[in-house]
Structure formats: structure tokens, C-alpha cells
């Protein structure tokens, strides 16, 4: 289920233009979700937020989705780095105009708190944006699964 989430010190953006109208991604992102984004209120700030998994030994997987919804001029750009718990998750992310791009964690992230920071690169004229994000927390079951022969 997708739902809007407003981060502190952020400003919402939106477009009425279709996202991924000709190019469907493997993630099948809802168009209504990708037509909106958040950016830092102050254009020189970073976009920062936390997520609490509730368990320090939990493994999590992160998927961040981006689509440039503003029409940038030829001399403008939006380029940013993403860190997770102080470590680089992705460098020089450049969302494509009206097309989805996904940045994902290649391996499980362990910890009770996930701290995300998105920093504008020095050569960028626009701050970072975030259209959508998914976090999957792995649940370990203490009991063995039911066997096929159980009845």
C-alpha cells in the first residue's frame, strides 16, 4: 500500500504529466505516486530522514524511486548522492525527466534505525528529490514452517 509521507523541512512537488508512459519499469510503480515528489524546503539543504525497524538485528532492504517531474533547462541539473547510516548507497543520482529510476540496497542492511541523507552535488543547480520509497524488513519466524505431510 502506498501512502503520502511528509518529511520535516521538505516541500512537495507534483506534475500532471504521465510518468513512464512508454517505458514501464520492472517495479510497476503507481503513476499517481511517481507524479509527486519531495525536495528540501531550502534548496541548498539535504533531504534527511530516519526509519525505525524496531529491532537491532533486523535485516532490511531499501528501494528508492526517482523521476524528474520538473522540466529543467539545458544549463540546469539535479544530481545528488545518497547515504544510508553514513555509508554511500548511491553516487551521482540523476533522475530522468518523466522516467522512473530505482536505487536499491544490494545487500541487507542491519540495524534498528536507518538514517538516510541525500546531498546535492556541488555542480548541481537543483536539490535532491524523492518520489517514493519502499523498505522491507525481514521477519524471522521462530517456528518451523508447516510440512507438506502435516494435515
Residue 1 lies in a domain: no
Residue 133 lies in a domain: yes
Residue 147 lies in a domain: no
Q: Kindly tell me if the per-residue pLDDT of 1 is higher than 60.
A: no
Residue from 88, 74, 64, 82 nearest 125 by CA: 74
Can you give the residue range of the structural domain that contains 93? 10-137
Query: Structural domain tally of the chain?
Result: 1
- C-alpha to C-alpha distances, 60 to 127, 137, 141, 150, nearest whole angstrom: 27, 4, 15, 32
Summarize pLDDT for 102-123 with one digit per residue, the tens.
999 989 999 899 999 999 999 9
Residue 21 lies in a domain: yes
Residue 73 lies in a domain: yes
Distance, in Å, from the CA atom of 2 to the CA atom of 134, rounded to the nearest integer, reads 9
**pTM of structure:** 0.88
Query: How large a percentage of the chain has pLDDT more than 90?
Result: 66
CATH number of the domain to which 23 belongs: 2.60.120.430
Amino acid at each position: 500500500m502506498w501512502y503520502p509521507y511528509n518529511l520535516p523541512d521538505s516541500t512537495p512537488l507534483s506534475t500532471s504529466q504521465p510518468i513512464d508512459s512508454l517505458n514501464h519499469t520492472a517495479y510497476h510503480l503507481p503513476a499517481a505516486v511517481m507524479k509527486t515528489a519531495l525536495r528540501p524546503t531550502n534548496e541548498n539543504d539535504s533531504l534527511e530522514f530516519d526509519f525505525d525497524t524496531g529491532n537491532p538485528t533486523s535485516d532490511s532492504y531499501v528501494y528508492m524511486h526517482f523521476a524528474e517531474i520538473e522540466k529543467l533547462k539545458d544549463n540546469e541539473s539535479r544530481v545528488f548522492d545518497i547515504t544510508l547510516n553514513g555509508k554511500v548507497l548511491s553516487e551521482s543520482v540523476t533522475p530522468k525527466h518523466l522516467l522512473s529510476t530505482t536505487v536499491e540496497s544490494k545487500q541487507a542492511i542491519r540495524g534498528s534505525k536507518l538514517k538516510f541523507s541525500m546531498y546535492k552535488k556541488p555542480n548541481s543547480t537543483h536539490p535532491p528529490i524523492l518520489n517514493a520509497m519502499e523498505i522491507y524488513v525481514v521477519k524471522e519466524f521462530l517456528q518451523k514452517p508447516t510440512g507438506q505431510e502435516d494435515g
